[in-house]
A and B are shown apart, each in its own frame.
Chain A
Amino acid sequence: AQRVTQPEKLLSVFKGAPVELKCNYSYSGSPELFWYVQYSRQRLQLLLRHISRESIKGFTADLNKGETSFHLKKPFAQEEDSAMYYCALTFSGTYKYIFGTGTRLKVLA
């Protein structure tokens, strides 16, 4: 069965430190991977998707099919990055997204 694993429930880093939020997936075909973010008192929103190969708010994520990973990275964390981050998987032939359990990122001053 398809699955998304985010091993860390909570990740605390200091402002200016590098950040890496881990995401591993289980799917044998060609996946489409996304990162969604939920800031405090806001709704869940798309941060980035692998197919766009873009950098949003300084965040990047590379799809590694060999390691079945899609880790989210930022070289220098900012306090405003504090939020809940969800990795999500979908694929051709389905309309559902499979979400991980999320990682809460806390950026400390």
Chain B
Amino acid sequence: DAGVTQSPTHLIKTRGQQVTLRCSPKSGHDTVSWYQQALGQGPQFIFQYYEEEERQRGNFPDRFSGHQFPNYSSELNVNALLLGDSALYLCASSQAGTTTNEKLFFGSGTQLSVL
């Protein structure tokens, strides 16, 4: 089991461009969460996808959108990139449970640099 896989590992974009990041969850997991980690900060929750729907969203603008596919993989899209979007983007997968106490399994992240 490869665990959570993310692609690409690194990405360089310019301001105003659009970017798509991809994530495949750990085998057996059906829930995908996306986090943004700026330099020197902890991960910040962007949103979570379950059953192909956005289940909860953090304090991020509409420029951040996502999608979950029937095979549980997910994409994070960011439009109109700003310099401040430069960060490590982490995908975390889990199994949906009856409580929120779901153990998160993280990918290695995609390092996005916006110039």
The minimal Cβ–Cβ distance linking A94 to chain B, given in whole angstroms, is: 6
A46 in contact with B100 (CB, 8 Å): no
The minimal Cβ–Cβ distance linking B109 to chain A, given in whole angstroms, is: 8
Q: Is B103 an interface residue (CB 8 A)?
A: yes
Q: Is A4 an interface residue (CB 8 A)?
A: yes
Interface range on chain B (Cβ under 8 Å from partner):
20 to 34
**Which secondary structure characterizes the binding site on chain B?**
loop
Considering the chains assembled together, what is the distance between the CA atoms of A49 and B94 in angstroms? Answer: 15
Closest to B3 in A: A43
> Which of B35, B45, B55, B107 has most chain A Cβ within 10 Å?
B45
Q: Which residues of B contact A96 (CB under 8 A)?
A: 33, 45, 48, 56, 58
Q: Which residues of B contact A99 (CB under 8 A)?
A: 35, 42-44
Q: Which residues of B contact A91 (CB under 8 A)?
A: 100
A102 in contact with B100 (CB, 8 Å): no
Instruction: List residues of chain A with CB under 8 Å of any chain B CB.
Output: 4, 9, 32, 36, 43-46, 49, 51, 86, 88, 90-102
The 6 residue pairs across chains A and B that have the minimum distance between CB atoms: A99-B42, A96-B45, A44-B106, A95-B56, A95-B48, A99-B43
